[in-house]
């Protein structure tokens, strides 16, 4: 079932994942409280120039582009030495501890999934464990305010994730996530207590296209706000990203190889435009 979900949809919902309910509920509660803070208090953690971290919008590459209808807080959570605690909100008081616990739990879940994916692809688990051994992890906490003209804006433009594996937790019950398959958009209704998982560009490249990164977007509700937290898991910074040798035996690689650092620089310097970024990496 997991192999089919990764190969056909690039998306699945994960239940019985082992993350304690109290860890998820505390994280949800602290996210709600953070976005209730006055704007000036949130701006104390504003994104710095040429930085991916902090409070503010992502993927802003020009002054004339149409911005998404969202507030975001992006933080690097792993490796531990990469954390910039100055950008981690000090209010609510439990936010930092909540995020640290949540980060550890999701690292474990992602590690287990990556190991099973490697086996399903016919790749030795150590191949993936070497690439993701000290997996980079970042969170993007999303707040989508209601908009009376909801059909004229998007909370997050169509895109694929520049990570290996993304795990999303919906904070409240307002739907908005949609995934694209066969040219159609399908709304996602989160199962109770589930983590929503999707394949990122990195695993599509490593698997030489056997697993697909899923194009998705967020639509806005006219009357209610929506909150979520996406946790991105990627390879170690100095790893080379390209189709794995075991997978391309007897066939041609479909994607270019490059360092993860170069990949991320290119990914974040482009506007969100569906799968256009991945098309540019194809041979």
The fold for domain 1-280 equals Jelly Rolls (2.60.120)
Q: What confidence tens digit (pLDDT) does each residue in 95-115 have?
A: 999 999 999 999 999 999 999
Strands 156-159 and 216-218: antiparallel
The confidence band for 273, taking pLDDT boundaries of 50, 70 and 90, is: low
Residue 50 pLDDT > 90: no
Cis peptide preceding 235, ω within 30 of 0: no
Other residues' Cβ atoms within 10 Å of the Cβ of residue 121: 22
Q: What is the pTM of this model?
A: 0.93
Question: End-to-end distance of the chain based on CA atoms, in angstroms?
Answer: 30
Check pLDDT > 60 for residue 34. Answer: yes
> Where along the chain do its domains lie?
1-280
Write down how long the chain is: 283
Give residue 188's pLDDT: 96
Note the pLDDT of residue 271. 62
pLDDT of residue 80: 94
Where b means 16+ CB within 10 Å and e means fewer, 224-235 reads ebbbbbbbbbbb
Q: Provide the 10 A C-beta neighbour count for residue 131.
A: 22
Which distant-in-sequence residues (6+ apart) come within 8 Å of 144 by Cβ? 69, 70, 155, 176, 218, 220, 221, 225, 226, 227
**Pick from 107, 108, 114: which is nearest to 244 by CA?**
114
pLDDT digits (tens, 9 = 90+) for 134-170: 789 999 999 999 999 888 888 888 999 999 999 999 9
pLDDT confidence band for 212 (50 / 70 / 90): very high
Residue 156 pLDDT: 86
Q: How many angstroms separate the Cα of 3 from the Cα of each of 182, 234, 269?
A: 19, 19, 32
Find, among 145, 280, 160, 169, the residue nearest to 220 by Cα.
145
Higher-confidence residue of 74 and 272: namely 74
| pLDDT for the residue numbered 262 | 87
């Amino acid at each position: 079932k997991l192999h089919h979900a990764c190969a056909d949809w690039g998306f699945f919902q994960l239940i019985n994942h082992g993350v304690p309910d109290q860890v998820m509920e505390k994280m949800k509660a602290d996210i709600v409280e953070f976005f209730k803070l006055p704007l000036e208090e949130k701006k104390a953690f504003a994104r710095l120039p040429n930085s991916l971290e902090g409070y503010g919008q992502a993927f802003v590459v020009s002054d004339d582009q149409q911005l998404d209808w969202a507030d975001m807080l992006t933080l690097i959570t792993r490796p531990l030495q990469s954390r910039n605690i100055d950008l981690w909100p000090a209010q609510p008081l439990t936010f930092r501890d909540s995020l640290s616990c949540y980060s550890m739990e999701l690292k474990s879940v992602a590690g287990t999934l990556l190991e099973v994916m490697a086996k399903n692809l016919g790749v030795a688990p150590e191949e993936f464990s070497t690439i993701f051994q000290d997996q980079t992890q970042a969170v993007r906490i999303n707040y989508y305010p209601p908009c009376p003209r909801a059909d004229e804006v998007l909370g997050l433009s169509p895109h694929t994730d520049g990570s290996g594996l993304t795990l999303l937790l919906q904070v409240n019950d307002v739907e908005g996530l949609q995934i694209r398959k066969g040219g159609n958009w399908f709304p996602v209704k989160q199962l109770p207590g589930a983590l929503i998982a999707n394949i990122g560009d990195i695993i599509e490249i490593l698997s030489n296209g056997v697993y697909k990164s899923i194009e998705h977007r967020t639509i806005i509700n006219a009357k209610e706000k929506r909150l979520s937290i996406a946790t991105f898991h990627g390879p170690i910074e100095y790893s080379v990203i390209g189709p794995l040798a075991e997978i391309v035996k007897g066939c041609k690689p479909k994607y270019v190889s490059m360092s993860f650092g170069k990949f991320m620089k290119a990914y974040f310097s482009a506007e969100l435009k569906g799968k256009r970024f991945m098309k540019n990496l194809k041979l």
